[in-house]
């Protein structure tokens, strides 16, 4: 039995932070940001009372409505995030409470920018083994909560957003999540993209605040080099394992960190730009949100048809990376 995506949804906060807004806050400029990253603007969840679970709740409600099911029918909720509302309880439990999914169990999964692919892969196993029939998988991050808006090397890159899917047993022969390949490399990645404060190593203290340890730190050049190689390699591996040529692929859905990384991945795969999903210009990098937001937009635009071949690829902190081949049902 295969697992198929039966509904998609996204939530982006209304508030826009444009490159021009950032020009007023930082030593940067629109031209630099667009040419180095492809980003023009990102969304920010401004309301201090609202956090990641709010965005997930908006996604979850839409998913139920689109699929025409009640919250009680959901058996498992997995939220991929690295910006949970709080360290515990999990954001997935908060989402369960928001929608009233009283028959579900729920947990968070943290694999940074690869969180959604890790979660989708995990969720698929529960469907494939026959124990679960309806699983909700959401990827969401309120990146503005961990960004230092005086640091131009990270402030320009990230935005807030959420997306998600419902997974169910595939009903069309040969459709669903057909292949998954996940990687981690903590030895190479652990020092290049991280947030050191607020965990059990450096619990919150005046010192951690003074040292700005509750903000994201990234060695951008290093991460860029690794991302370009790893995303292209895992995409090529998914293609060769499934005998897919570039022509067979209807859409490449890459993690949205930087347009240059997206284009390099597509070029290595030989996939034409017209088949590459990109919305990084509008939303920046929403971390675990990027891929499900892309899926929801393709779905809204009615570009996904039965038999469409999608290759999803991601790379992020850890390092974590991976690829998933989906034949749309
Ligand atoms: O999703 C998780 C994975 N994360 C990623 O995939 C991000 C990967 N990294 C990147 O996307 C890129 O490395 C960045 C966009 C972060 C940076 O682009 P880059 O082409 O690697 O630039 P750089 O860091 O090598 O900096 C080039 C120059 C430097 O000046 P000098 O040393 O050449 O004089 C920087 O100081 O650009 C300068 N610079 C800026 N200038 C204007 C760095 N940030 C900015 C800025 N505005 N915001």
Mean pLDDT, all residues of the chain? 97
pLDDT tens by residue, 130-173: 999 999 999 999 999 999 999 999 999 999 999 999 999 999 99
Least-confidence region, from 15-24, 57-66, 264-273 = 264-273
Which uninterrupted H or E stretch holds 9? strand 3-11
**What token pair was written down for 184?**
């981690």
pLDDT tens by residue, 300-325: 999 999 999 999 999 999 999 999 99
Asked whether 241 lines ligand 1 (CB < 6 A), one says: no
Nearest residue (CA) to ligand 1, atom 18: 36
CATH class of residue range 3-169: alpha beta
Q: How many angstroms separate the alpha carbon of residue 33 from the centre of ligand 1? A: 9
Q: Report pLDDT for 87.
A: 96
Answer for the pair 149, 89: CB distance below 8 angstroms, yes or no: no
Distances (CA, A) of 213 to 72, 153, 210: 40, 16, 8
Catalytic, 255? Answer yes
CA distance 141 to 163: 10
**What token pair was written down for 42?**
């990102």
pLDDT tens by residue, 107-137: 999 999 999 999 999 999 999 999 999 999 9
Q: Report pLDDT for 225.
A: 95
Residues of the chain with CATH 3.40.47.10: 3-169, 176-327
Question: Which of 56, 93, 113, 175 does the annotation list as catalytic?
Answer: 113
pLDDT tens by residue, 23-60: 999 999 999 999 999 999 999 999 999 999 999 999 99
Answer for the pair 120, 165: CB distance below 8 angstroms, yes or no: yes
Catalytic, 56? Answer no
Contacts for 207 with CB less than 8 Å, ≥ 6 apart: none
User: For the whole model, what pTM was predicted?
Assistant: 0.97
Catalytic, 175? Answer no
Q: How many angstroms separate the alpha carbon of residue 161 from the centre of ligand 1? A: 23
Cis peptide before 177 (omega within 30 of 0): no
Q: How many angstroms separate the alpha carbon of residue 160 from the centre of ligand 1? A: 20
Q: Report pLDDT for 222.
A: 96
Which residue do the tokens 């390099």 mark?
264
Q: Is domain 176-327 in CATH 3.40.50.920, yes or no?
A: no
Mean pLDDT of 222-238: 96
């Amino acid at each position: 039995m295969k697992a198929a995506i039966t509904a998609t949804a996204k939530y982006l906060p209304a508030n826009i932070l444009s490159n021009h807004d950032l020009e007023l806050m930082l030593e940067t400029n629109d031209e630099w940001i667009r040419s180095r990253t492809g980003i023009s603007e990102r969304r920010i969840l401004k309301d201090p009372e609202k956090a990641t679970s709010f965005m997930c709740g908006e996604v979850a409600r839409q998913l139920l409505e689109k699929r025409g099911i009640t919250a009680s029918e959901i058996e498992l909720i997995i939220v991929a995030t690295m910006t949970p509302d709080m360290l515990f309880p999990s954001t997935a439990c908060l989402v369960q409470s928001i929608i009233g999914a009283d028959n579900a169990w729920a947990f968070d999964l943290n694999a940074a920018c690869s969180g959604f692919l890790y979660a989708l892969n995990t969720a698929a196993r529960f469907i494939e083994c026959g124990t679960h029939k309806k699983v909700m998988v959401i990827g969401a991050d309120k990146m503005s909560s961990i960004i230092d808006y005086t640091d131009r090397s990270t402030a320009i890159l990230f935005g807030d957003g959420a997306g998600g899917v419902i997974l169910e047993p595939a009903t069309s022969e040969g459709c669903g999540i057909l292949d998954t390949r996940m990687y981690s490399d903590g030895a190479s990645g652990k020092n290049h993209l991280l947030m050191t404060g607020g965990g059990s190593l450096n619990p919150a203290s005046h010192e951690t605040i003074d040292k700005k340890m509750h903000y994201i730190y990234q060695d951008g050049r290093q991460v860029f080099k690794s991302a370009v190689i790893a995303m292209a390699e895992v995409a090529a591996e998914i293609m060769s394992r499934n005998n897919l040529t570039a022509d067979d692929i209807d859409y490449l859905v890459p993690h949205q960190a930087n347009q240059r990384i997206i284009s390099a991945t597509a070029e290595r795969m030989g996939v034409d730009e017209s088949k590459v999903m990109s919305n990084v210009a509008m939303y920046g990098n929403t971390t675990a949100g990027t891929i499900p937001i892309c899926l929801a937009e393709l779905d809204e635009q009615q570009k996904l048809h039965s038999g469409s071949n999608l290759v999803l690829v991601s790379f992020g902190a850890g390092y974590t990376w991976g690829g998933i081949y989906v034949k749309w049902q």
